[in-house]
Amino acid sequence: MRMCVASSRTGTRTILRMLLRSGYTSTATHLDRTLLHHAILCGSAGAVQTLLASGADSEAPVKTSRSNRSRPVHLASRLGQPEILRMLVDRGCDVKARAEADDTAAILCSRHKRKDYLGVLVSAGADVALLNSASDSPVLHRFL
């Protein structure tokens, strides 16, 4: 079950600021995900912006029973959230980081038909020739 916050941008930011001021940290987890992960899952660019400005770790892994390799950049790439992806890239996230099955954010973009966002990753230094454990790459999806 996802923990989504208020839907309005102003409401989201206000709620997050109140939580952070009252001692709730940006590193606290719910279901092994930080507030940043939940904001990305909910597609809330305003919440992501507020959390990043408050010091949230743009490299914090999602901890699951199988792995802890998936990062915010992988979530945004898979879910097709270009505004959030740009924020993470601007924060200097590792666009070459590997998730489960050695997937990179670029591989996830291409696999999930998010070819328009691949340019964001490439301009940030993503390597479209990297292969995952199944020898898959963005090039194999014919997006370049």
- DSSP secondary structure string for all residues of 88-139: HHHTT--TT---GGG--HHHHHHHTT-HHHHHHHHHTT--TT---TTS--GG
**CB neighbours (10 Å) of residue 130?**
17
Confidence (pLDDT) at 117: 80
Confidence (pLDDT) at 1: 37
- Domain boundaries in the chain? 1-57, 59-144
Q: Is 17's pLDDT higher than 80?
A: no
Q: Is 19's pLDDT higher than 50?
A: yes
Distances (CA, A) of 70 to 14, 21, 63, 142: 28, 28, 8, 24
Phi-psi region of 113 (alpha: psi -120 to 50; beta: other; left: phi over 0): left
State the average pLDDT for the chain. Answer: 80
Does the predicted TM-score (pTM) go above 0.85? no
Segment 25-67, tens digit of pLDDT: 666 666 677 889 988 988 989 889 988 988 889 999 987 667 6
Confidence (pLDDT) at 23: 63
Q: Is 6's pLDDT higher than 60?
A: no
* CATH number assigned to the domain with residue range 59-144, chosen from the 4 options 3.40.50.720, 3.30.360.10, 3.40.462.40, 1.25.40.20: 1.25.40.20
**Residue 15 pLDDT class (50, 70, 90 cuts):** low
